[in-house]
Amino acid sequence: GGGLGGASSSTAPAAPVPGYQQPPPAIGSSADAGRALAELNELEEKVREAEDKVKRAASQSHHYVGFISKFDTMKGYGFVSCSETFKRFGRDIFIDRESYQGAKIGDTVVFSVGFNKKGEVRACDVQKLNEVTRLKQELQAKKQTYMTSVSRSGMGVQAALELIQGKRPAPGEMVDAPSFKRFQRK
């Protein structure tokens, strides 16, 4: 028997969508703040790992990983920000409309560096990194949610930002929690 109406996973509307979390309630206690922060840190670590992985792969084929920082659709060009190429060339890398197709400002891309007829640096074979871009957007959204719930709870935004940046331990966490060393900005 096929057994219609059985517990078929595809039709159960109650099953949560993977990766989707209910927006958290206002952070009412330090434990909530700690939990939200731990989630944030975990996601940040995921983003960093994903980025490191693509950076390693990219560098082997003389490519770089950056993100689209500006793009003027009217003029048909923009710029890619990347710390490695910035060290080399002292500026963001020019990207033209052909290379930009399907990308948006803020997208993480992998690219190689070439030169135009005038000898100016430009981004070549630009490819959008969907996975890294998606993770970064998720992280951004989580940070936003975290800040919103923090402001509802009456904790100062400054304190919340310092928590995210690992400048101070989350309430109820030990000062020497090793996880905080990892998340301090260089």
Residue 80 has pLDDT above 70, yes or no: yes
Cα(6)–Cα(68) distance, integer angstroms: 48
Which has more confidence, 107 or 36?
107
Residue type for position 61? S
Residue type for position 16? P
Q: Do residues 52 and 176 touch, judged by C-beta distance below 8 A?
A: no
Looking at the DSSP bridge assignments, the partners of residue 78 are 71, 95
Residue 20 has pLDDT above 50, yes or no: yes
The pLDDT-based confidence of 171 (bands split at 50, 70, 90) is low
pLDDT single digits (tens) 32-47? 777 888 899 999 999 9
- Provide CB contacts within 8 A for 27, sequence distance 6+: 33, 36, 146, 149, 150, 152, 153, 155
Cα(186)–Cα(179) distance, integer angstroms: 15
Task: Quote the percentage of the chain above a pLDDT of 90.
Answer: 48
Q: Do residues 80 and 92 touch, judged by C-beta distance below 8 A?
A: yes
Average confidence (pLDDT) over 81-87: 96
Average confidence (pLDDT) over 68-80: 93
